[in-house]
C-alpha cells in the first residue's frame, strides 16, 4: 500500500510551531496497576508528602476506569496522607471557582496543590453544586446549579432558569447554617462576575475577589427584575440583610453595576440608582471653538442615592456632554457614584458646564447632597488608606480642604503625595516658570523639597527633578541639586542614605510588602530595603524578577558581570544561592486567560517545592535549602504542578524520583493517571490508584463548631442486650462517649482499643484489640442539655488518620454512633417503633441506600471496563509518512558544513502512533546526495529533495550565500540609536524606548533564514519574548510578547537597519526623529536610504 504524505510547510511557518505532529511513541498494551507499589520509607519520602498534599494534608484524585466506551464512573474525592478518603469519590467535580493572587479557575495549575480558599471549595454531586469544608462536610448541600465562595459569611446560591440565560439568586448564611433566601425570587446573569479586574476590585480577607451580589459591609444588592432596552441590560434592584430581609421594601432602577469596586452601586445599606430623564434642545459649543455649535435632545438617566430611610439624594446627577470617537455621536450618561460609608461621602460627576462639549465636573458630596469638594473638570481619585482625594491638579486634606498647590500626584501612596506650586510668572525669554516641589500628607503638612535641597527652579521646569513615592516606612528617593546623585530622605528632610548613587530604580519602592530599590554606584548595582539599609553592596550587574516571581516577593535574583545568577533575601540581603548559576527557577507554560496573570504558577521564594531549581553549564539541578544538590539531569523541565515535576513524561518529586511513571499515562491503562496518589502505612510509603482505596461512598453533612447537645431518648441494644449509657442528640444523630462505645463491644470480634497522646493531641483507635478501661465508662448523665464543641484532636485508626465527627462535652469526646460502627464494620440498625438503636458485632455495617447506589455504580463500571477494555480506535484510513520538521539550520555560507539536526520524519500508523524514520530518509540536491557535514561549494537557494525507500516524498529549501556577504551573526547584542540604548520598559509587556540606561540584559538576535528576494530573516528577542510592533501601521511601537515575529536586518559598514520582513517599507526608528529619554521606538514607512533616526548600532554583549 502506498503511504500518504503529510508534507513540510514553509520553513518559517514550521519554525513558528504551527504543524501538529504525531507522538513518537509505540502503541501501548492494555495494563492495570491495581495493587499498591512500595516506594520507600516515610522518612525517605517526607519531602514528597509535604508537596503532594495541600496545606490541609489532602490530595484530589479522580476515580474511574478507562474502557472502550470511554471513562466509566468518573468521580473525584480528596484523600489524606494515609490513603483514607476525607471527601468520598462521589463528586462530579471538586474545583474552586475563584481568583486570587496565585489561583485562576480558568487555568487551575498551581505549583503546590490548592483546593480551598478560606477553608472552602465548590463541589458538584449528582449534577448539583454545594460547598465543602476541609473536613469534607457539605457546608452547603449539593442542591444548586452554582454556589459561590463566602463573602462576610454569606454565599450566593443560584439555580438556572430553564430556557433562559438568567439564573435565580439566593443566599446561604454559613453562621446560621441555613438558606436565608431561596433562589426563586431574585434574578441575575452574573453568576461569578467579579467587580472589576484584579487591579480595580476589592479583595476579601481570604484573598479572593468580590463578585456581583456579594455581601459588602453587611448587605447585598439583589435584582428583582431584569430589563433590556435600547441602552442594553439593566435591572430593578434592592438591598437585603444577612437574614434575607429586603431593607428597602421597594426596588430601584440600576442602569449597570459598574466596572470597578469603587463605582459598584451598593455599599452597606446604600444604593445608587437611576431614573430616565429627557434633556430637550441643549445647545452647546466646544471649549476651544465657539463657532462650532449643536443643539440636541438627550434621553438619558440621572443618578441618586437610596438608603434604609428612603431617597437620600434625588436623582439629578448626570455627566456633561460626551462624544463617541471622531465625535460621530453625542451623549449624556448617568453619573457614577463612588459611595464611601466610612465618612458618608460620595465622589461623583455632574453636568458642570452644560453649554460645553466635555463639560463634566467632578466633586465630592455628602449623603444629603451637600458639596464637600467643589466640582471642577479635574477627575479626582480617592485614596482609601489616607481617606483623601487628589488629582493631577488639586489635592485635598482628609477633611476636604483644598491644599494650596498648582498640581500634584493622582494618588496618595503610603500616606504621602507630591505637589508643586508656582513661585513666579512665566519667563518668555527663558521659556520657563519657576516652581517648588513638595511632599505632602493628607493632614496638610508638607516638606518643601526645592527649598530644603536647593533645587534649581529653572531646571525643575525644563527637565524636571526625579523622585520616588514614599515607602511604607516613610522614606523617599530624590535627586540632588545638580541632578547627578540620588539620596534617601524622610518626610522631615533628614538624609537616611547619602547622595552618592548615580541612579536608582525605585519602581518597587512603595510596595505594601517587601518593597526595595536597586541603586547604582560607579557602574555597579546594589539593593536597599525599605528600612533604608543598603543590604547588598553595589557590586553586581543587575537585580531582576522572573515572570512567575511577583514584585513583592521576599527574594530577588542577583546577576554578576559574568551573567551568573544568585538568589538573595530582600530584607537582609542574605544570599540564599551563590551567584553561580545560569538560570534560577523553572519555566512556566503561559496560558491565555481573562486574568491579568497568564499563568498561576506563582512563587514568592522559588522554594515552594522544598528545593531550588537551577541551571548551570548545561545541566539542571534541584538544591535543598543549604544549596546541596539533591538531583541533577541534562534535561530542562517546567515548574511543578500540584507538587510534582514532569520529567520525560513521568511525574517526579522534589528529589527527581519517579512517583507516577509515564506508562500509567495512557488510555490503555485501566486507571487514569489522575487517580494515583501516595500514602503512608506502617512507616512505609506506597503508590496506589484511588480506585482501590477503601471508600464508604457517602457524603457528610455539616456539623457546626458549637451547638447544643440534648440528652438522647434512644434506647440502645448491643448484641441483643439493653445497654444504658450517657448519649446525646446533635443534628438528629446519636453521639456516645467514645470509651463507652469501646466498652460496649469489648471482648467481641469487633473490639477496639482507645488511647490518647496528649503531646500530639491525638486519639488512636486500634482494631481487634481488647479495650483497656480507665474508669468511669458507662456512667449515666444528669439528663441536662449541654454545650458541645467540635473535637480538635486528630483521630487515627490503626495508624492512619481518619475524618470523623466528634464533640467534646464536659471534657469527654462523643462520637457519632454510625461513624464508629462504619469504621469497625459493625452492624447498626434502627427500630423506629421503639426508638431503639441496635448494635450487632456479628454483622457488618450496611451502606445506606444512597451509599449502596454509588457502590453499585462503581462495581458496574469496574466490571464493564474489565470486560470491555479500551482499544485504540483507527483514526486514519491508512498509514502515512509525516514530515514533522526541517533541519534547524537553513542558512549557510559557502563551505560551511550542512547540519541535519532538527530534521524529523515519522511513519504514522492508522492509530496515530509514530515511529521515527528520520535516519531512513535520503537527501539530495539535484542528483547529489547530501548528508550531515556535507559542504556546499556554490551560493544560491537549494531545493533539498527527500527520498524514502527510493521514492521522492517531499522537499525543503535552504539558502547558501557567498562567504563575503555581510550578515549580522546570531548572538546577544545591545542596540543603540544615535548613542541612546533601546531600552525595554516593563508595563505588562516590554515596550521599547530610548534611554541613557543600558538594559539589564542584551537582546537575543537569531538568524533563522534567508531569501534571495527578501533577504535575511531574524528573530529579535528580549527576556525570552519576541520583539514585534504593536500594530503593522506607521507609528506602531515596538513591544515584546510571546508571538513570534520576523525581521530583516541589513548590515552596513557603520550601522544596521531593521525592517519588517513582511512589509519592508516599515523601518524601525526613533519616533519623530527625537532622541530624548523615553522616545518611543516605532516602525514607519521609509523607502530608499534610511534616515539617521533609523540607523542602529549593534553592540556585541560580553
Convert the pLDDT of each residue in 635-662 to its tens digit.
989 899 999 999 988 999 999 999 999 9
If you count DSSP H runs as helices and E runs as strands, how many of each does the chain have, helices first? 7, 88
More confident residue, 730 or 196: 730
For residue 147, the Cα-to-chain-centroid distance in whole angstroms is 21
Q: What angle do CA 533, 538, 543 make, to 5 degrees?
A: 90
- Phi, psi dihedrals of residue 478, rounded to the nearest 5°: -140, 165
Average pLDDT, the chain: 91
Q: What is the DSSP letter of 462?
A: H
Tell me the C-alpha distance between 95 and 98, whole Å: 9
Whether residue 797 is predicted with pLDDT greater than 60 in this model: the reply is yes
Whether residue 598 is predicted with pLDDT greater than 70 in this model: the reply is no
Place of cell 520598559: 985
CA distances from residue 265 to 261, 393, 821 in whole angstroms, order as listed:
9, 27, 54
* CATH architecture type of domain 971-1100: Trefoil (2.80)
More confident residue, 355 or 10: 355
Q: Mean pLDDT throughout 132-152? A: 97
Please check whether residue 85 is in contact with residue 91, taking contact to mean a CB–CB distance below 8 angstroms: no
Whether residue 767 is predicted with pLDDT greater than 60 in this model: the reply is yes
Which residues partner with 43 through β-bridges? none
Nearby residues of 685 by Cβ (< 8 Å), 6 or more positions away = 38, 39, 40, 41, 42, 44, 45, 48, 49, 678, 679
CA distances from residue 404 to 382, 400, 657 in whole angstroms, order as listed:
18, 12, 67
Whether residue 8 is predicted with pLDDT greater than 50 in this model: the reply is no
Q: Mean pLDDT throughout 758-783? A: 94
Q: What is the pLDDT of residue 144?
A: 98
Question: pLDDT-derived band of residue 392, with 50, 70 and 90 as boundaries?
Answer: confident
**If we measure between CA atoms, which residue out of 1081, 1082, 1069 comes closest to residue 999?**
1081
- Phi, psi dihedrals of residue 196, rounded to the nearest 5°: 80, -175
Which residues partner with 686 through β-bridges? 38, 679
Q: Which grid cell is 459?
A: 531646571
Convert the pLDDT of each residue in 156-175 to its tens digit.
999 999 999 999 999 999 99
Q: Mean pLDDT throughout 498-512? A: 95
Straight-line distance from the first to the last Cα atom of the chain, in angstroms, rounded to the nearest whole number: 57
Tell me the C-alpha distance between 611 and 626, whole Å: 9
Please check whether residue 510 is in contact with residue 479, taking contact to mean a CB–CB distance below 8 angstroms: no
Q: What is the pLDDT of residue 13?
A: 31
Name the class of domain 544-550+554-602+604-636: mainly beta
Tell me the C-alpha distance between 30 and 960, whole Å: 50
- Compute the chain's Rg from CA coordinates: 36
Tell me the C-alpha distance between 535 and 785, whole Å: 62
Which residues partner with 702 through β-bridges? none
Tell me the C-alpha distance between 977 and 328, whole Å: 41
Nearby residues of 969 by Cβ (< 8 Å), 6 or more positions away = 1007
Whether residue 9 is predicted with pLDDT greater than 70 in this model: the reply is no
Q: What is the pLDDT of residue 589?
A: 58
Please check whether residue 778 is in contact with residue 741, taking contact to mean a CB–CB distance below 8 angstroms: no
Q: Are strands 167-173 and 154-160 parallel, antiparallel or unpaired?
A: antiparallel
For residue 605, the tally of other CB atoms under 10 A from its CB is 13
For the chain, what are the domain ranges?
4-26+874-961, 269-377, 378-504, 544-550+554-602+604-636, 705-847, 971-1100
Which residues partner with 381 through β-bridges? 390
**If we measure between CA atoms, which residue out of 768, 777, 771 comes closest to residue 754?**
771
Convert the pLDDT of each residue in 413-432 to its tens digit.
999 999 999 999 998 888 88
Q: What is the pLDDT of residue 447?
A: 97
Please check whether residue 620 is in contact with residue 637, taking contact to mean a CB–CB distance below 8 angstroms: yes
Which residues partner with 315 through β-bridges? none
Q: Which grid cell is 344?
A: 458618608
Give the DSSP letter string of 715-779.
EEEETTEEE---EEEETTEEEEEHHHHHHHTTTSTT-EEEEEETTTTEEEEEETSPPPP-S-TT-
Tell me the C-alpha distance between 393 and 374, whole Å: 14
H or E segment at 51? helix 46-52
Q: In terms of C-beta density within 10 A (0-12 exposed, 13-18 middle, 19 or more buried), how is residue 402 classed?
A: middle
Whether residue 593 is predicted with pLDDT greater than 50 in this model: the reply is no
Q: What is the pLDDT of residue 230?
A: 65
**If we measure between CA atoms, which residue out of 21, 17, 191, 49 comes closest to residue 681?**
49
- Phi, psi dihedrals of residue 401, rounded to the nearest 5°: -90, 135
**If we measure between CA atoms, which residue out of 816, 701, 696, 642 comes closest to residue 132?**
701
Which residues partner with 828 through β-bridges? 839
Q: What is the pLDDT of residue 318?
A: 97
Half-sphere exposure of residue 1044: CA atoms within 13 angstroms, side-chain side: 12
Q: Are strands 388-390 and 407-408 parallel, antiparallel or unpaired?
A: unpaired
Tell me the C-alpha distance between 838 and 886, whole Å: 76
Please check whether residue 584 is in contact with residue 606, taking contact to mean a CB–CB distance below 8 angstroms: yes
Tell me the C-alpha distance between 781 and 486, whole Å: 77
**If we measure between CA atoms, which residue out of 461, 453, 446 comes closest to residue 478?**
453
CA distances from residue 556 to 42, 62, 532, 971, 994 in whole angstroms, order as listed:
34, 38, 17, 27, 26
Q: Mean pLDDT throughout 118-139? A: 97
Half-sphere exposure of residue 882: CA atoms within 13 angstroms, side-chain side: 20
More confident residue, 250 or 407: 250
Q: What is the pLDDT of residue 199?
A: 65
More confident residue, 922 or 618: 922
- Phi, psi dihedrals of residue 73, rounded to the nearest 5°: 55, 45
Q: What is the pLDDT of residue 6?
A: 52
Q: What angle do CA 160, 118, 823 make, to 5 degrees?
A: 90
Please check whether residue 387 is in contact with residue 343, taking contact to mean a CB–CB distance below 8 angstroms: yes
Q: What is the pLDDT of residue 799?
A: 94
Whether residue 514 is predicted with pLDDT greater than 70 in this model: the reply is yes
Convert the pLDDT of each residue in 437-489 to its tens digit.
999 999 999 999 999 999 998 887 667 899 999 999 999 999 999 999 999 99
Tell me the C-alpha distance between 146 and 807, whole Å: 31
Whether residue 587 is predicted with pLDDT greater than 90 in this model: the reply is no
Tell me the C-alpha distance between 1057 and 729, whole Å: 84
**If we measure between CA atoms, which residue out of 208, 255, 198 comes closest to residue 230?**
255
Q: Where are the beta strands (DSSP E) in 449-513?
A: 475-479, 486-490, 495-501, 503-505
Domain 4-26+874-961 falls in which CATH fold? Immunoglobulin-like (2.60.40)
Q: Which grid cell is 608?
A: 515552594
- Phi, psi dihedrals of residue 242, rounded to the nearest 5°: -75, -5
**If we measure between CA atoms, which residue out of 41, 20, 25, 22 comes closest to residue 662?**
25
Q: Mean pLDDT throughout 64-83? A: 95
Q: What is the pLDDT of residue 978?
A: 93
Q: What is the DSSP letter of 854?
A: H
Question: pLDDT-derived band of residue 596, with 50, 70 and 90 as boundaries?
Answer: very low
Please check whether residue 80 is in contact with residue 88, taking contact to mean a CB–CB distance below 8 angstroms: no
Give the DSSP letter string of 241-269.
-TT--BSSSS-EEES---SSSTT-SEETT
**Coil, helix or strand at residue 1057:** strand
Whether residue 787 is predicted with pLDDT greater than 80 in this model: the reply is yes
Q: Mean pLDDT throughout 704-731? A: 94
Instruction: Encode 817-845 in three state secondary structure.
Output: HHHHHHHCCCEEEEECCCCEEEEECCCCC
Whether residue 570 is predicted with pLDDT greater than 50 in this model: the reply is yes
Q: Which of 568-582, 754-768, 976-990 has the lowest mean pLDDT?
A: 976-990
Q: Mean pLDDT throughout 218-225? A: 97
Please check whether residue 836 is in contact with residue 727, taking contact to mean a CB–CB distance below 8 angstroms: no
666: left (phi over 0), alpha (psi -120 to 50) or beta: beta
Amino acid at each position: 500500500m502506498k503511504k500518504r504524505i503529510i508534507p513540510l510547510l514553509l520553513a518559517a511557518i514550521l519554525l513558528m510551531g504551527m504543524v501538529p505532529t504525531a507522538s513518537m511513541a509505540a502503541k501501548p498494551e492494555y495494563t492495570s496497576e491495581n495493587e499498591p507499589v512500595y516506594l520507600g520509607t516515610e522518612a525517605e519520602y517526607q519531602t514528597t508528602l509535604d508537596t503532594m498534599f495541600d496545606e490541609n494534608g489532602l490530595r484530589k484524585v479522580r476515580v474511574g476506569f478507562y474502557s472502550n466506551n470511554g471513562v466509566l464512573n468518573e468521580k473525584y474525592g480528596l484523600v489524606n496522607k494515609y490513603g483514607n478518603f476525607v471527601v468520598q469519590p462521589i463528586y462530579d467535580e471538586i474545583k474552586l471557582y475563584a481568583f486570587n493572587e496565585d489561583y485562576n479557575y480558568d487555568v487551575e495549575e498551581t505549583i503546590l496543590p490548592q483546593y480551598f480558599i478560606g477553608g472552602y471549595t465548590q463541589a458538584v454531586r449528582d449534577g448539583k453544586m454545594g460547598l465543602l469544608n476541609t473536613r469534607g462536610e457539605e457546608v452547603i448541600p449539593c442542591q444548586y446549579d452554582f454556589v459561590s465562595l463566602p463573602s462576610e459569611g454569606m454565599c450566593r446560591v443560584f439555580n438556572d432558569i430553564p430556557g433562559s440565560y438568567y439564573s435565580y439568586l439566593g443566599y446561604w448564611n454559613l453562621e446560621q447554617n441555613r438558606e436565608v433566601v431561596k433562589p426563586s425570587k431574585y434574578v441575575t446573569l452574573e453568576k461569578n462576575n467579579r467587580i472589576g479586574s484584579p487591579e480595580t476590585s476589592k479583595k476579601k480577607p481570604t484573598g479572593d475577589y468580590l463578585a456581583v451580589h456579594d455581601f459588602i459591609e453587611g448587605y447585598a444588592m439583589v435584582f428583582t427584575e431584569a430589563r433590556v432596552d435600547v441602552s442594553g441590560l439593566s435591572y430593578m434592584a434592592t438591598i437585603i440583610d444577612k437574614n434575607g430581609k429586603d431593607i428597602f421594601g421597594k426596588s430601584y432602577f440600576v442602569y449597570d453595576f459598574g466596572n470597578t469596586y469603587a463605582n459598584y452601586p451598593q455599599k452597606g445599606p446604600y444604593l445608587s440608582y437611576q431614573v430616565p430623564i429627557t434633556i430637550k434642545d441643549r445647545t452647546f459649543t466646544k471649549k476651544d471653538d465657539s463657532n462650532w455649535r449643536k443643539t440636541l435632545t438627550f434621553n438619558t438617566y440621572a443618578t441618586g442615592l437610596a438608603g434604609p430611610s428612603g431617597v437620600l439624594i434625588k436623582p439629578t446627577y448626570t455627566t456633561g456632554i460626551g462624544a463617541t470617537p471622531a465625535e460621530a455621536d453625542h451623549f449624556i450618561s448617568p453619573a457614577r457614584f463612588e459611595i464611601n460609608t466610612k465618612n458618608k461621602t460620595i465622589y461623583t460627576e455632574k453636568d458642570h458646564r452644560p453649554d460645553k462639549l466635555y463639560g463634566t465636573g467632578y466633586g465630592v458630596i455628602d449623603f444629603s447632597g451637600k458639596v464637600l469638594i467643589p466640582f471642577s473638570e479635574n477627575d479626582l481619585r480617592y485614596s482609601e488608606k489616607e481617606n483623601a482625594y487628589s488629582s493631577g491638579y488639586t489635592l485635598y486634606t482628609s477633611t476636604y480642604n483644598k491644599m494650596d498647590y498648582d498640581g500634584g500626584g493622582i494618588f496618595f501612596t503610603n500616606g504621602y503625595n507630591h505637589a508643586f506650586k508656582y513661585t513666579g510668572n512665566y519667563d518668555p525669554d527663558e521659556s520657563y516658570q519657576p516652581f517648588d516641589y513638595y511632599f505632602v500628607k493628607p493632614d496638610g503638612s508638607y516638606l518643601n523639597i526645592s527649598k530644603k535641597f536647593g533645587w534649581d527652579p529653572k531646571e525643575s521646569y525644563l527637565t524636571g527633578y526625579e523622585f520616588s513615592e514614599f515607602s511604607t516606612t516613610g522614606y523617599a528617593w530624590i535627586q540632588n541639586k545638580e541632578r547627578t546623585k540620588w539620596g534617601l530622605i524622610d518626610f522631615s528632610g533628614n538624609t537616611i542614605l547619602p547622595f552618592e548613587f548615580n541612579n536608582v530604580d525605585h519602581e518597587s519602592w512603595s510596595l505594601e510588602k517587601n518593597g526595595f530599590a536597586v541603586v547604582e554606584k560607579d557602574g555597579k548595582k546594589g539593593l536597599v530595603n525599605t528600612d533604608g539599609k543598603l543590604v547588598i553592596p553595589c557590586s553586581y550587574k543587575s537585580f531582576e524578577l522572573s515572570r512567575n516571581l511577583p514584585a513583592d516577593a521576599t527574594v530577588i535574583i542577583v546577576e554578576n558581570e559574568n551573567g551568573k545568577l544568585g538568589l538573595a533575601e530582600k530584607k537582609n540581603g542574605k544570599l540564599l544561592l551563590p551567584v553561580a548559576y545560569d538560570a534560577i527557577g523553572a519555566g512556566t507554560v503561559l496560558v491565555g486567560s481573562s486574568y491579568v496573570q497568564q499563568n498561576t504558577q506563582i512563587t514568592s521564594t522559588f522554594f515552594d517545592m522544598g528545593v531550588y531549581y537551577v541551571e548551570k553549564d548545561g545541566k539542571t539541578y534541584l538544591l535543598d535549602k543549604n544549596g546541596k544538590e539533591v538531583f541533577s539531569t541534562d534535561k530542562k523541565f517546567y515548574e511543578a504542578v500540584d507538587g510534582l515535576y514532569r520529567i520525560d513524561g513521568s511525574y517526579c518529586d522534589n528529589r527527581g524520583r519517579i512517583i507516577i511513571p509515564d506508562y500509567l499515562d495512557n488510555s490503555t491503562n485501566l486507571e487514569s493517571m489522575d487517580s494515583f496518589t501516595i500514602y503512608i502505612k506502617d512507616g512505609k510509603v506506597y503508590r496506589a490508584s484511588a480506585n482501590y482505596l477503601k471508600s464508604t461512598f457517602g457524603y457528610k453533612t455539616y456539623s457546626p463548631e458549637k451547638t447544643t447537645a440534648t440528652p438522647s431518648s434512644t434506647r440502645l441494644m448491643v448484641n441483643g442486650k439493653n445497654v444504658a449509657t450517657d448519649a446525646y442528640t446533635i443534628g438528629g444523630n446519636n453521639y456516645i462517649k467514645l470509651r463507652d462505645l469501646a466498652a460496649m463491644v469489648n471482648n467481641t470480634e469487633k473490639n477496639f482499643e482507645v488511647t490518647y497522646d496528649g503531646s500530639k493531641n491525638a486519639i488512636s483507635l486500634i482494631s481487634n484489640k481488647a479495650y483497656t478501661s480507665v474508669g468511669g465508662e458507662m456512667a449515666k448523665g444528669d439528663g441536662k442539655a449541654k454545650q458541645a464543641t467540635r473535637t480538635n484532636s486528630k483521630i487515627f485508626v490503626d495508624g492512619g488518620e481518619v475524618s470523623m465527627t466528634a464533640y467534646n462535652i464536659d471534657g469527654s469526646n462523643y462520637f457519632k454512633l454510625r461513624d464508629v460502627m462504619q469504621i469497625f464494620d459493625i452492624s447498626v440498625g434502627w427500630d423506629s417503633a421503639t426508638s431503639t438503636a441496635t448494635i450487632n458485632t456479628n454483622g457488618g455495617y450496611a451502606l445506606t441506600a444512597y451509599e449502596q447506589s454509588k457502590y453499585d455504580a462503581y462495581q458496574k463500571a469496574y466490571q464493564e471496563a474489565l470486560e470491555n477494555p479500551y482499544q485504540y480506535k483507527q483514526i486514519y484510513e491508512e498509514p502515512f509518512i509525516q514530515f514533522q520538521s526541517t533541519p534547524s539550520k537553513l542558512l549557510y555560507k559557502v563551505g560551511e558544513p550542512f547540519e541535519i539536526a532538527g530534521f524529523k520524519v515519522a511513519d504514522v500508523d492508522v492509530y496515530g502512533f509514530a515511529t521515527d524514520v528520520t535516519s531512513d530518509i535520503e537527501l539530495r540536491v539535484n542528483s547529489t546526495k547530501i548528508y550531515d557535514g556535507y559542504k556546499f561549494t556554490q551560493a544560491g537557494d537549494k531545493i533539498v529533495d527527500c527520498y524514502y525507500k527510493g521514492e521522492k516524498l517531499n522537499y525543503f529549501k535552504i539558502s547558501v550565500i557567498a562567504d563575503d556577504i555581510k550578515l549580522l551573526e546570531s548572538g546577544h547584542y545591545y542596540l543603540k540609536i544615535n548613542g541612546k540604548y533601546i531600552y525595554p520598559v516593563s508595563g505588562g509587556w516590554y515596550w521599547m524606548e530610548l534611554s541613557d540606561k543600558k538594559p539589564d540584559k542584551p537582546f537575543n538576535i537569531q538568524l533563522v533564514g534567508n531569501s534571495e528576494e527578501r533577504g535575511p530573516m531574524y528573530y529579535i528577542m528580549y527576556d525570552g519574548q519576541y520583539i514585534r510592533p504593536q500594530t503593522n501601521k506607521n507609528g506602531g511601537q515596538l513591544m515584546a510578547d510571546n508571538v513570534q515575529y520576523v525581521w530583516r536586518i541589513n548590515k552596513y559598514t557603520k550601522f544596521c537597519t531593521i525592517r519588517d520582513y513582511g512589509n519592508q517599507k516599515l523601518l524601525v526608528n526613533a519616533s519623530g526623529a527625537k532622541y530624548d529619554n523615553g522616545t518611543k521606538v516605532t516602525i514607519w514607512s521609509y523607502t530608499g536610504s534610511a534616515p539617521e533616526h533609523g540607523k542602529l548600532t549593534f553592540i556585541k554583549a560580553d
